[in-house]
Structure 1
């Protein structure tokens, strides 16, 4: 696997990204160079690792530079500002961008799953969550999946203690006893399970399903350089298929790139399903996610559903079955 140098998020604050976008290049300038395409993603998360395989499927003369961020919102903001060309990011961040009329579009799906609801071994089932502390990241799909799952089990959120925590702190909070359970994205749940936590209930039995990660770009780049967008979507389709067919290489890449525990990685990737398609059923689940974001006050108003997706490129890809 040929990987290009990474740019860490720590060196690219949101303010710095916005300033860089004004002083340096626009999406059209980046596309015109034809040399390097920048892709934002999150660090050390298996469901956002697909860009690390893009170079293996890049057309001649195109290289990919991976830019690491700490949150999906930061990735979306970088795409909107033009500081990165594309983002592999959480669907909620793009929906928020569409609702705010920021000119960001989903051009492919990227990964389903990546969420688990786990807790201490004495929690035998969902009803045992009553009176317990549950970690979750506010504003994420994991918050929505948790609250929908609790409601389906007849549990009022007021009957549990909800603790807002960043993804990176979730496993440590469980280990220290700060929380009894978590609804979180990998790797935290798998780290906890390797330490003895158990899976309590599936988070996927809601109208949202497994929807989680998408490939997004700006409306400006779509309009200014559709050929580049097609090339990136083609690479994304092939890389997604490769990860699905080669989980061992996927796991090895994560371990080598981020120094992760191999046992944790192997567990985590069994909870992630790489994908690229934007079929009607998938779109319906994303629309359901948008509705729930409004219902849970993550959005002030529903995004225009006609502005969420641009399916042109997956439909035109010669690599899509």
Structure 2
């Protein structure tokens, strides 16, 4: 099992390729002859951002007068300051990171939803996994264990703690450690940790190696949980509101296209990641509704306050556009 799991994990390392505009020195033009406005988006090379890659591939952004260049970052920690500084016109990040940033005074505003839970327990794009043969059978059994998440004090441990509460356990008695997603399958198999919170494609890697999913923490929080969003800065919105109306419309169309064409989502994944085809064929896709589910974000914000990630009730009116 060990060699099989390590091989699968190595084959699914998310090494991103760039998705930039053409090499012509002349600005690209729309079909109507008007020059396109060049914008740059900071994204993470994961399954969740497939809609924006499809939008570029299918010419949706061009139809709205935008030449969108996609630049990859390791995570929201790099994208948020990039948007604030103006390096990126648009960014992608999980909702918890955006709430924390907004509560710290960073002038961010969401444009559209990014990725949403499937709402199906045991069949979501994120979940808590244990090794084959583990004694841990439910979220309540996580008491007294070590659980790996990709980033501390974020959406992973916030929702996992909630799963433990829902199951009747004590989330205070969990030792969370920070570990990159690609390292989680091997850490689980070798016993470095008792459980991991993993998202796709790593959930599928673990399942293919015999690991078991004990709960879907996004579903436990809210079946319609808006996990991530596309966002910009208030300054950029104020500078050109019409442009960002066009950008928002293009994002919404891209999300709808992805929702309606799951095969295209799987196909485009191979253009910006190195996920093994056997994993691409089996992984669980998020849902891609265009609108943020505000009630689900409020549920997250309430959990964040309970866990001390924020000191006061989140002002979602300033964050959700």
Q: Report the TM-score, using the length of structure 2 for normalisation.
A: 0.79
Aligned equivalent of 2:49: 48
Cα RMSD after superposing both structures = 2.2
Q: Distance in 1 between matches of 2:189 and 2:38?
A: 41
Aligned equivalent of 2:77: 73
Q: Deviations over 1:253-288 (max 9, x none)?
A: 112321211232233333x1112113xxx1121122
Is residue 2:169 matched to residue 1:134? no
Is residue 2:90 matched to residue 1:82? no
Is residue 2:35 matched to residue 1:38? no
> Aligned pair in 2 of structure 1 residues 165, 223: CA closer, same or farther (>3 Å)?
same
Secondary structure at 1:298 match in 2: coil
> Aligned pair in 2 of structure 1 residues 264, 104: CA closer, same or farther (>3 Å)?
same
CA contact (8 A) 2:131 2:189 kept: no
Q: Deviations over 1:226-247 (max 9, x none)?
A: 1111111111111111111211
Aligned equivalent of 1:244: 259
Q: 1:47 Cα shift?
A: 1.2
> Aligned pair in 2 of structure 1 residues 132, 93: CA closer, same or farther (>3 Å)?
closer
Is residue 2:264 matched to residue 1:262? no
CA contact (8 A) 1:110 1:276 kept: yes
Q: Distance in 2 between matches of 1:191 and 1:128?
A: 23
> Aligned pair in 2 of structure 1 residues 89, 260: CA closer, same or farther (>3 Å)?
same
In structure 1, runs of 5+ residues without a counterpart are 7-32, 311-321
Q: Distance in 2 between matches of 1:309 and 1:161?
A: 33
> Aligned pair in 2 of structure 1 residues 195, 216: CA closer, same or farther (>3 Å)?
same
CA contact (8 A) 2:44 2:74 kept: yes
Q: Deviations over 1:101-143 (max 9, x none)?
A: 2110011111113321111232433344344432123122121
Q: 1:146 Cα shift?
A: 0.4
Secondary structure at 1:244 match in 2: helix
State the number of aligned residues: 277
Comparing 146-155 with 295-304, greater Cα deviation is found at 295-304
Secondary structure at 1:118 match in 2: strand
CA contact (8 A) 2:114 2:226 kept: no
Q: How does 1:276-295 map to 2 (within 5 A)?
A: 276-278=290-292, 282-295=293-306
Q: Deviations over 1:187-219 (max 9, x none)?
A: 322221121111112211225852211010111
CA contact (8 A) 2:109 2:232 kept: yes
Comparing 173-182 with 93-102, greater Cα deviation is found at 173-182
Aligned equivalent of 1:164: 178
Q: Distance in 1 between matches of 2:67 and 2:50?
A: 17
> Aligned pair in 2 of structure 1 residues 301, 165: CA closer, same or farther (>3 Å)?
farther
CA contact (8 A) 1:48 1:89 kept: no
Secondary structure at 2:220 match in 1: coil
Aligned equivalent of 1:189: 203
Q: How does 1:2-13 map to 2 (within 5 A)?
A: 4-5=19-20
Q: Distance in 2 between matches of 1:241 and 1:209?
A: 16
Q: 1:40 Cα shift?
A: 0.9
Aligned equivalent of 2:100: 96
Q: 1:180 Cα shift?
A: 2.5
Q: Distance in 2 between matches of 1:175 and 1:240?
A: 36
Is residue 2:317 matched to residue 1:306? yes
Comparing 157-166 with 70-79, greater Cα deviation is found at 157-166
Aligned equivalent of 1:230: 245
